[in-house]
């Protein structure tokens, strides 16, 4: 599908659709149908080199081609309070069968000082079944950074799924107040095993390995923090 003429009269369609769907039941999608989605990919504890509560969730409201996305992720470290917390609000548009182009705003409540960012990214399914989320950010201080996430589902059975995940953060310049150096900031590798009791609900266990690199690692050392962390993960993944 390359050339759709769409209900891409967005955002009018999106807004009209939201209103219409609230007011009427449609016959056969004579109007663009609006759906809402929320998924917590990670909601649980990481225990080991420092215990923490972690969340990573996203959701959207919209039609087939245009959506409003919401993403949030963060970490609350026992004894230290919330170390990281960010939210993103994005407009998302289907640009190819498997890919959405997303643009909008990100706001980090932690670490301090708080920062706002403009975001542009792509999210979708790459060949060979890799789920990809790649974003570039420019902060209100003018710092450019990027994040790349890839995840793969290996079906041990129809319901027992082993899922490796890779995440890395990069920055073009340093933002020392927030402990962000230029270059590769950090790398995270997770391996989770989840059991889909139903598609929508899956408890998981896993192991996570995180490491900071380069200048970012230097900043962490200067603060007396570890630059490497290995944890055991337990929690639930769900969507509706």
Partner 1 sequence: MSRYLFATAALLLATATQAATYDLTIGKTPVNVTGQPRKAITVNGQLPAPLLRFQEGEEVVLNVTNALDTDSSLHWHGFILPYTMDGAPGFGFAGIKPGETFTYRFKIQQSGTYWYHSHSDMQEQAGLYGPIIIEPVKPEPYRYDRDYVIMLSDWTDQKPHTVMSKLKKQSDYYNYSQQTVADFFREVSAKGWDAAVQNRLDWGQMRMMATDIADVAGYTFLVNGRTPEQNWSGLFKPGERVRLRLINGSAMSIFDVRIPGLKMTVVQADGNNVTPTPVDELRISVAETYDVIVQPQDDQAYTLFAESLDRAGYARATLTPREGMSGVIPELRPRPLLTMADMAGHGGMHHGSMAGMNHESMAGMEAETIDHSKMDHGSMAGMDHSSMAGMDHSTMNHGGAANAEQTPANQVKPNPQSGLYPTAANGGKFLIYNDLRAMTAYPGYRAPDREIEVRLTGNMERYIWTLNDEKFVDADPIRLKYGERVRLKLTNTTMMTHPIHLHGMWMQLDVGKGAFNPLKHVISVLPGQTVYADVSVDAKGEWPFHCHLLYHMHAGMMRKVIVDDSGASI
Question: Alpha-carbon distance 235 to 53, whole Å?
Answer: 9
Nearest distance, CB of residue 2 and partner 1, angstroms: 7
* DSSP symbols for 27-60: SSSSS---EEEEEEEEEEEEEESS-EEEEEEEEE
Cα angle 145, 146, 152; round to 5: 160
Q: Which residue number, 165 or 170, has a Cβ lying nearer to partner 1?
A: 165
Q: Which residue number, 112 or 199, has a Cβ lying nearer to partner 1?
A: 199
Q: Which residues bind partner 1 (CB under 8 A)?
A: 1-7, 25-32, 35, 37, 64, 94, 97-98, 125, 127-129, 154-158, 199, 239
Q: Which residue number, 12 or 27, has a Cβ lying nearer to partner 1?
A: 27
Nearest distance, CB of residue 217 and partner 1, angstroms: 36
Given a contact cutoff of 8 angstroms between Cβ atoms, the answer to whether 207 and 234 are in contact is no
Nearest distance, CB of residue 176 and partner 1, angstroms: 42
Q: Which residue number, 6 or 227, has a Cβ lying nearer to partner 1?
A: 6
Q: 78 pairs with which residues across the strands?
A: none
CA 160 to chain centre: 23
Question: Alpha-carbon distance 167 to 38, whole Å?
Answer: 21
Q: Which residue number, 128 or 224, has a Cβ lying nearer to partner 1?
A: 128
Q: 76 pairs with which residues across the strands?
A: 53, 82
Q: Which residue number, 53 or 239, has a Cβ lying nearer to partner 1?
A: 239
Nearest distance, CB of residue 234 and partner 1, angstroms: 23
Nearest distance, CB of residue 188 and partner 1, angstroms: 24
- Residue 79 CB contacts under 8 Å (≥ 6 apart), including other chains: none
Nearest distance, CB of residue 37 and partner 1, angstroms: 5
């Amino acid at each position: 599908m390359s050339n759709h003429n769409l209900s891409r009269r967005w955002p009018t369609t999106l807004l009209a659709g939201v209103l219409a769907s609230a007011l009427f039941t449609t016959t056969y999608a004579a109007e663009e149908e609006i759906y809402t989605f929320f998924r917590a990919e990670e909601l649980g504890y990481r225990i080991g080199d420092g215990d923490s509560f972690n969340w990573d969730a996203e959701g959207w409201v919209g039609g087939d081609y245009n959506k409003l996305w919401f993403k949030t992720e963060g970490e609350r470290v026992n004894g230290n309070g919330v170390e990281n917390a960010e939210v993103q609000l994005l407009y998302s548009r289907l640009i190819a069968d498997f890919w959405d182009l997303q643009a909008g705003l990100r706001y980090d409540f932690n670490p301090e000082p708080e920062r706002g960012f403009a975001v542009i990214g792509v999210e979708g399914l790459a060949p060979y079944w890799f789920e990809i989320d790649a974003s570039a950010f420019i902060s209100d201080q003018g710092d450019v950074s990027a994040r790349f996430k890839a995840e793969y589902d290996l079906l041990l059975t129809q319901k027992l799924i082993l899922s490796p995940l890779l995440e890395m953060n990069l920055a073009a310049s340093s933002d020392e107040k927030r402990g962000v150096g230029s270059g590769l900031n950090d790398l995270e590798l997770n391996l989770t095993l989840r059991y889909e009791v139903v598609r929508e609900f899956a408890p998981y266990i896993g192991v996570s390995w995180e490491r900071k690199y380069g200048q970012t690692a230097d900043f962490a050392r200067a603060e007396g923090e570890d630059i490497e962390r290995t944890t055991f993960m337990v929690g639930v993944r769900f969507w509706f």
